[in-house]
Amino acid sequence: MPDASVVHCRRIGRTRSTVESFEHGTRCVPPTLGSLPLKKLTAHNLDDLYGDLAEHVAANTVRQTHAILTAELP
């Protein structure tokens, strides 16, 4: 799912640092969340993800991960 954001950033000519930021953000999304069917994805799943991330990465990484997921979700 989030890999599309990285491809899109490259395609529209974002700077290398922007693409790298998106790549880092996509690595923060656990595979279990990416394999979860959209119908089963809940706000609680995302809250848990953001809470876990906040314990391990910078606030900006949490924000970028949120931006990636927001762009990817319908």
Q: How many CA atoms lie within 13 A of 21 on its CB side?
A: 16
Q: Is residue 1 over pLDDT 70? A: no
Domain count within the chain: 1
Per-residue pLDDT tens digits for 16-68: 998 888 788 778 777 767 778 888 889 999 999 899 989 988 998 888 888 88
Let me know: does 69 contact 47? Beta carbons within 8 Å: no
Q: Specify the pLDDT at position 8.
A: 83
The residue range of the domain holding 23 is 3-72
**CA angle, 38 then 10 then 56, to 5°:** 60
DSSP for 4-67 reads HHHHHHHHTT--HHHHHHHHHHHHTS-HHHHTS-GGG--HHHHHHHHHHHHHHS-HHHHHHHHH
Q: Specify the pLDDT at position 71.
A: 78
